[in-house]
Amino acid sequence: MRTDQRICSVERDGLVFDVLDEGPMDGEPVVLLHGWPERATVWRHVAPILNTAGYRTLAMDRRGFAPGARPKRRRDYRLPVLIEDVAALIDEVGGSAHVVGHDWGAAVAWAVAGHRPERVRTLTAVSVPHPAAMMKAMVKSDQLKKSYYMLLFQLPFLPELVATRRAEWFDVQLLKGGMSREDVARFRREIVEDGALSTSIGCYRAMFLTDPRVLRFRVSAPTTMVWSTKDVALGRWGAEHSGEWVDASFELVVLEGTSHWIPTQEPDVLADAILRRVRG
């Protein structure tokens, strides 16, 4: 494990990913992966709790979000590429780590655990289920209806135009989905004003460029799935069936009455779930 200095950034394929490295340098590393439309700062309430418990946290601005990692092509955001971005960070801290992800960060975390199992000590996936369970949920439940926005994001230019020229309407949709006004304002600062809006959607626009076989993997790491009942984007079916793809201990944690934005709205509960897993 690299304990001689803080990791402020990681380079891969000519791109630079910013990293928030906090907590005791010799603590077990916990990699924190954010979703959309947020950045590494989404872990600002969770990381201190993990740090106090003795863990070193590394929250990375993912591809499309970090100022030095915003390629323009859709194919640069395929899932196998996103996996290697995280693997590069884990290599910087000794080659293995506990991995936690929320939203798109959870989708990537699942994939890292499945395709790079030697790098993942434990997995905590927040909100988003195993990709194969997600695909099944599209036909077994109302998940397809909940995921309509993913199809809208495939359209060129339109999502960006709506988010900027109809900013008030767009922000209201985030508020209706449970995001706080503080975090909507943060979205405006860290995503829109910082120039990351179009590239941050890259992960959605590359969805259909990824071979579906890449999604059908098994996970050997002990895993916790955290899901909330007021999540307007992710239904219960995928969360409940994610354990079918895990060949180790699996726990489903259901947060009653909480929206999709678990890291900022229930940081204490989420941190407890993470600590139970990494200590287990």
Q: What is the pLDDT of residues 223-252, one digit of tens each?
A: 999 999 999 999 999 999 999 999 999 999
Number of domains present in the structure of the chain: 1
| Average pLDDT of the residues in 203-207 | 96
Percent of the chain past pLDDT 90, that is, above it, reads: 96
Q: Which domain holds residue 199?
A: 9-279
How would residue 3 be classed by pLDDT, with cut points 50, 70 and 90?
A: low
Residue 1 lies in a domain: no
* Alpha carbons 280 and 20: distance in angstroms, whole number: 25
Residue 2 has pLDDT above 90, yes or no: no
Question: Which residues, at least 6 apart from 257, have a Cβ–Cβ distance to it below 8 Å?
Answer: 228, 229, 230
How would residue 273 be classed by pLDDT, with cut points 50, 70 and 90?
A: very high
Strands 29-33 and 56-60, bridge-based pairing:
parallel
Residue 3 lies in a domain: no
Residue 4 has pLDDT above 80, yes or no: no
Contact 190/271 with Cβ under 8 angstroms? no
Peptide bond into 37 cis (omega under 30): yes
Residue 121 lies in a domain: yes
Q: Which helix (H) or strand (E) holds 48?
A: helix 47-52
Residue 1 has pLDDT above 70, yes or no: no
Mean of pLDDT over the chain: 96
| Average pLDDT of the residues in 187-203 | 97
Residue 237 pLDDT:
98
Residue 169 lies in a domain: yes
Q: Which CATH number characterizes residue 148's domain?
A: 3.40.50.1820
Residue 195 pLDDT:
97
Residue 33 lies in a domain: yes
Residue 122 lies in a domain: yes
Q: Is 163 helix (H, G, I), strand (E, B) or coil?
A: helix
Half-sphere exposure for 227 (CA within 13 Å, toward CB): 19
Percent of the chain past pLDDT 70, that is, above it, reads: 99
Residue 15 lies in a domain: yes
What are the tens digits of pLDDT across the range 129-183?
999 999 999 999 999 999 999 988 999 999 999 999 999 999 999 999 999 999 9
Residue 69 lies in a domain: yes
Residue 254 has pLDDT above 80, yes or no: yes
